[in-house]
Amino acid sequence: AYAGNAASNWVYANNGERTANTAAQTATWGGLCTSGHEQSPINVVTSAAVRTSMPVITTHFDTIASYVKNTGHGFQLFETSPLASQHRDNNGVSEVDMIGGSDKGYSIIGGSKYNFYQVHWHTPSENTIDGHYFPLEA
């Protein structure tokens, strides 16, 4: 398991900003999301976990995401919308064309369709399992 303490570093920036800060966190989330105690990062205590059945998940991807951003805490695959064919980077200069402008894909979870918009991975993990951080978390 990862030995570092990452929890104190998880403050997010607004779109277009290059660094995270507390003001961006407050403006973005506000209310209990800023001061509450039941949001990410969380510690999953496996001895307190409750087993349950999960719905079937099927995933369908029609394109390959070609824009990757390093956030300093991990990396993200972006596009401007589920059907957009281009993404403009944070400083508004370059554009990355997506393959054919087709949709990025979707998942069916328990019979409901969810369009893919963005995926990101944290390194090290934002959350912990039984108090342990891990090198990567999706």
Per-residue pLDDT of the chain (138 residues; tens, 9 = 90+): 444 444 444 555 556 666 666 677 676 666 766 666 666 788 899 999 998 998 899 988 755 555 667 766 667 765 545 555 444 555 554 444 444 444 567 888 988 988 776 777 877 888 899 999 998 888
Residue 136 belongs to a domain: no
Residue 90 belongs to a domain: yes
> CA-to-CA distance for 73 and 19, rounded, in angstroms?
11
At residue 32, φ and ψ (nearest 5 deg) are -65, -20
Residue 65 belongs to a domain: yes
Region of residue 17 (left: phi > 0; alpha: psi -120 to 50; beta: else): beta
Residue 135 belongs to a domain: no
Enclosing domain of residue 82: 7-129
> CA-to-CA distance for 16 and 103, rounded, in angstroms?
24
> CA-to-CA distance for 116 and 79, rounded, in angstroms?
10
**Number of domains the chain contains:** 1
What value, to the nearest 5°, has the Cα angle with vertex 125 and ends 56 and 48? 60
For 30, the token pair is: 């506000």
Residue 88 belongs to a domain: yes
For 50, the token pair is: 């409750």
Q: How many angstroms separate the first and last alpha carbons of the chain? A: 16
